[in-house]
Amino acid sequence: MSIERYSYDVVVIGAGGAGLRAAVEAREAGFKVAIICKSLFGKAHTVMAEGGIAAAMGNANSSDNWQVHFRDTMRGGKFLNNWRMAELHAKESPERVWELEMWGALFDRTKEGKISQRNFGGHEYPRLAHVGDRTGLELIRTMQQRIVALQQQDGKNNGDMESHIRVFAEVTITDVLVENGKAAGVYGYRREDGSEILFEAGAVVLATGGIGKSFKVTSNSWEGTGDGHALALRAGGKLIDMEFVQFHPTGMVWPPSVRGILVTESVRGDGGVLTNSEGRRFMFDYIPEVFKDKYADTEAEADRWYKDQANNRRPPELLPRDEVARAINSEVKAGRGSPHGGVFLDVSKRLPAEEIKRRLPSMWHQFKELADVDITEQPMEVGPTCHYVMGGVQVEPDTAAAVGLQGLFAAGEVAGGMHGSNRLGGNSLSDLLVFGRRAGMGAVAYLKGNAAKPTLSEGTIKRAQERLNEPFTNTGGENPYTIHQELQQTTNDLVGIIRTKKELEESLEKLAKFRERIKNVSVSGGREFNPGFHLALDLENMLLVSECMARSALIREESRGGHTREDFPKMDSKWRQVNNVSSVEGASVNCVQERAKMLPDELAGLFEKSELAKYFTEDELAGVKGGSN
């Protein structure tokens, strides 16, 4: 079969917020960019983000600034965050939001006509720029339209709208090609006709999003199969801290077909309360020690906070997501759940019906049309759903360059480090733009310093071609759908929200068996738009990612953020010093421990010593020069 061949300066894999922002940056520096979408252009998972984009613009409360945002992010991640990424993110988010506005985004406004900002879990001040509850749609459409605007400029300048940016929709990349230790291109296939496609590239940016499809209950679409994670591993990159998986506390639980679909945190930000089957606002029973001084301990104070934030502490419904998800899980396990195995979330008593429809239009629509529930009158039933992976490709913070392979960059959910052990709501959209741009800049700087594009050898291309075609060469093997369902059940049961040594070991045994089964998976039908064929390729990625998660989770003997061990229920300062780094050697996942970097004094000085003492060892604390007492 002939291979369609292209040559670009930068190939961006993924067309969500991070990928598109990287592409814009590389194009503005004059380079030629290919954007590869797994689905149609504009359908990436970014579109599902609801609540908003966190940026310390200080529009709603002028006390907000990057230092406060940085502190909130570090607290949310329980201090395992790559501090430099958290710093860059907090500093640069406002510029990225304003830039979106310059490109046509229309955010909701404050009375003064500025961009409105709403409350969210873990953020000290109202910080999320938003458009109702469809902020992700606004972000992706704006980026999409920015790409078109640049294409129109290119059309004017040189008569070809696709001279510098071309979007390849419904193309799946199966390998990052490596030549002489450098990323040199990518290989994949076009879904429309099954034809094979090869891109030579000076630099490759991974912006492929998450891994949710490895789990049974997830808010992720079919695309979230850990493609970029697996591409990086196979090409020589590394993943850090893959044990940290965010279970969003509020997914729909009924009807079964929508189980896992996201219910935005804005419902709680706008006053929604969580109750159990006894009618108790149970979150008051789950405020952890580290947050005791920041959250209200009576319903009266929590209720007052919605009107007067200066003199009251926040309601515990707005604790970071990991805390709320664990609390819901415990209530359901204790037999105090709702009829369909969740808990109740009610905003109808806080706001008038019209206000709910205005602030939460897509939630109203979603529950009305899919569950026959009118959220302006009735409570919703909600429960945890696999939403986001904090772990990901290990990168250099300033350039988003992947550790372990020159010429490879990663941004957005596929990259690790920024969010530590738990991501705050709203920090994802800002992450996409801040590090999408930085990945674009990183690729540009790399290209400028490496004049010669590596030449791809026939052997490298042939290996990629063989791997792609494997599912068709097997006959009589298993159906990929069956294996996928069983894999999802296994990760859900054994590497889920609460973990134990025994279950994690069992998961690794099971995953090893899946590896054998996947080797023989076979597909029926032809190459044209064949979802079974696609799933067969995705399975390998999901399996690889699941192995990394299970191995890292087994090694980390503590509970922190999105990693909860029933057998090690406490957070342990010694483990804050550790990053679990996964790589692939041959066919097996190898996970080693690296020392996490310590905060520099000027950033440590932003916290009170008494707070740092909750996270750092005594030795570390003694070495901190800054810090107020």
Partner 1 sequence: MARPIKLRIWRGNKDGGDFHTVTVDANEGEVVLDVIHRVQATQLPDLAVRWNCKAGKCGSCSMEINGKPRLACMTRMNSFEEGETITVTPLRAFPVIRDLVTDVSFNYKKAMEIPAYAPPANLKPGEARMEQIDVERSQEFRKCIECFLCQDTCHVIRDHEENKKSFAGPRFFIRIAELDMHPLDTLRNRKQTAQENHGLGMCNITKCCTEVCPEHIRITDNAIIPMKERVVDVKYDPVRWLGSKIRKREDIS
Q: Enumerate residues 162-201 that contact partner 1 by CB under 8 A.
A: 167, 169, 192
Q: Does 466 bind partner 1 (CB under 8 A)?
A: no
**The only residue of 6, 222, 284, 306 in contact with partner 1, by rule CB under 8 A:** 222
Q: Which is nearer to partner 1, 104 or 181 (CB)?
A: 104
* Spatial contact of 115 and 109, defined as CB atoms under 8 Å apart: yes
In the region spanning residues 41 to 60, those forming contacts with partner 1, defined by CB under 8 A, are 41-43, 45, 47-48, 57
Distances (CA, A) of 32 to 163, 169, 305: 7, 17, 51
**Number of other CB atoms surrounding residue 528 within 10 Å:** 12
Q: Which of residues 485-504 bind partner 1 (CB under 8 A)?
A: 485
CB atoms within 10 A of CB 226: 31
> Measured from the CB atom, is 44 or 606 closer to partner 1?
44
Query: Nearest approach, Cβ of 496 to partner 1 (angstroms)?
Result: 21
Positions 522 through 551 that interact with partner 1 (CB under 8 A): 523-526, 528-533
Catalytic annotation present for 419? no
Q: How many residues sit in the footprint of partner 1 (CB under 8 A)?
A: 73
Residue 438 bears catalytic tag? no
Give 404 or 531: the residue with its C-beta nearer to partner 1: 531
Residues 92-111 contacting partner 1, CB under 8 A: 94-95, 98-99, 101-104, 106-109
Q: Rule CB under 8 A: is residue 517 a binding residue for partner 1? A: no
Residue 342 binding partner 1, by CB under 8 A: no
Q: What is the CA radius of gyration of the chain?
A: 23
Q: Which stretch binds partner 1 (CB under 8 A): 16-24, 411-419, 421-429, 519-527?
A: 519-527
Q: Which is nearer to partner 1, 18 or 137 (CB)?
A: 137
Please tell me what DSSP assigns to residue 409. E
Cβ-proximal residues to 292 (8 Å cutoff; 6+ apart), any chain: none
Q: How far is the CB of 255 from partner 1 (least distance, A)?
A: 2
- In terms of Cβ atoms closer than 10 Å to its own Cβ (0-12, 13-18, 19+), residue 61 is middle
Number of other CB atoms surrounding residue 222 within 10 Å: 14
| Of 504, 506, 606, nearest in space to 551 by CA | 504
Specify whether the CB–CB gap between 52 and 135 falls below 8 A. yes
Q: Answer whether 66's CB lies under 8 Å from 56's CB.
A: yes
Q: Is 522 helix (H, G, I), strand (E, B) or coil?
A: coil
Residue from the set 69, 118, 127, 134 that interacts with partner 1 by CB under 8 A: 134
Shortest distance, position 155 Cβ to partner 1, whole Å: 8
Kindly list the distances between the CA atom of residue 540 and the CA atoms of 284, 521, 557, in Å, as whole numbers in the listed order.
43, 10, 28
- The pattern of x and - marking residues 249 through 268 that bind partner 1 according to CB under 8 A reads -----xxxxx--xx------
Antiparallel, parallel or unpaired: β 182-190 and 196-206: antiparallel
**Rounded Cα gap, residues 183 and 310, in angstroms:** 52
Closest approach of partner 1 to the CB of residue 191, in Å? 9
Residues within window 386-445 making contact with partner 1, judged by CB under 8 A: none
| Residues with a known catalytic role | 248, 268
